[in-house]
């Protein structure tokens, strides 16, 4: 059984988080815990027409530093922050554990476990790029929310799946959400 944490920050892109969490909720081989930043919960309410509680996953409060994944000894297998705002990325890059998302990300980095940041920001500033560099050097994976078009996606949900499938790949979770490139 894999144990995964999903952080949801305040960047626009809650439908990516919704799809990821909906998919993970169907997996019998994955235990998924969720934590929102304060703004993440607000953006979710604005962009998604579903209560997080409907998914049946454990949801922890942003200030709950007693959550199991706030410690490396809990032995979680990875974390994804979907979507990840540039501000959240910057706090993680600089070791600022002001909330549970930041603390959990810090734990993943120090324990050398997969940390996937699905950045939802454009354009990038030099500060963003330098924060990405710091995170890449620390072992994080930066995965911008950039859907692919070679898959022939014919709807917004299908485009969302191209990103979510790549997030799952980075967490080491097999999936068939994304059409694999097989050449021309």
To the question of pTM greater than 0.85 for the whole model, the response is yes
Overall domain count for the chain:
1
pLDDT in tens, 71-83: 999 999 999 999 9
The pLDDT of residue 23 is above 80: yes
The mean pLDDT of 88-93, rounded to a whole number, is: 98
CATH, residue 99 = 3.40.50.1950
Instruction: Using pLDDT thresholds of 50, 70 and 90, give the confidence band for residue 5.
Output: very high
Task: Please answer whether residues 79 and 8 qualify as being in contact, where contact means their C-beta atoms are separated by less than 8 angstroms.
Answer: no
The answer to whether position 178 is within a domain reads no
The pLDDT of residue 59 is above 90: yes
Alpha carbon of residue 100 to chain centroid: 14
The pLDDT of residue 182 is above 90: no
The answer to whether position 182 is within a domain reads no
The answer to whether position 82 is within a domain reads yes
Instruction: Using pLDDT thresholds of 50, 70 and 90, give the confidence band for residue 61.
Output: very high
Which residues is 60 bridged to in the sheet? Answer: 35
The answer to whether position 175 is within a domain reads no
The answer to whether position 181 is within a domain reads no
The pLDDT of residue 132 is above 90: yes
According to the model, what pLDDT value does residue 184 have?
77
Mean pLDDT of the chain: 96
d(CA 121, CA 123): 6
d(CA 54, CA 67): 21
According to the model, what pLDDT value does residue 91 have?
97
Dihedral class, residue 87 (left if φ above 0, else alpha if ψ from -120 to 50, else beta):
alpha
Q: What share of the chain is helix, strand, coil (3-state, %, to 5)?
A: 45, 15, 40
Domain that holds residue 119: 2-170
Instruction: Using pLDDT thresholds of 50, 70 and 90, give the confidence band for residue 179.
Output: confident
According to the model, what pLDDT value does residue 151 have?
85
Give me the percent of the chain exceeding a pLDDT of 70: 100
The answer to whether position 176 is within a domain reads no
The answer to whether position 184 is within a domain reads no
Helices 100-110 and 86-93 pack at an angle, to 10 degrees, of 50
d(CA 146, CA 41): 22
Q: How far, CA to CA in Å, does 47 sit from each of 11, 13, 17, 174?
A: 11, 8, 11, 27
The pLDDT of residue 150 is above 90: no
Task: Please answer whether residues 57 and 34 qualify as being in contact, where contact means their C-beta atoms are separated by less than 8 angstroms.
Answer: yes
* SS3 state at 96: coil
The answer to whether position 109 is within a domain reads yes
According to the model, what pLDDT value does residue 52 have?
93
According to the model, what pLDDT value does residue 169 have?
97
């Amino acid at each position: 059984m894999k144990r995964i944490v999903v952080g949801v920050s305040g960047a626009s892109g809650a439908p990516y988080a919704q799809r990821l969490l909906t998919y993970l909720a169907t997996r019998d081989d994955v235990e998924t815990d969720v934590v929102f930043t304060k703004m993440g919960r607000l953006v979710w309410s604005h962009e998604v027409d579903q209560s997080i509680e409907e998914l049946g996953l454990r949801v922890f409060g942003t200030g709950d530093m007693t959550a199991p994944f706030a410690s490396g000894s809990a032995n979680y297998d990875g974390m994804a922050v979907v979507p990840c705002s540039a501000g959240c990325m910057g706090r993680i890059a600089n070791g600022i554990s002001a909330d549970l998302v930041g603390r959990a990300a810090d734990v993943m980095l120090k324990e050398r476990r997969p940390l996937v940041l699905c950045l939802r920001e454009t354009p990038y500033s030099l500060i963003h790029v330098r924060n990405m560099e710091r995170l890449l050097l620390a072992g994080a994976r930066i995965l911008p929310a950039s859907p692919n078009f070679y898959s022939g996606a014919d709807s917004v949900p299908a485009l969302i799946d191209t990103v979510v499938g790549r997030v799952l790949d980075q967490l080491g979770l097999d999936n068939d959400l994304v059409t694999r490139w097989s050449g021309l």
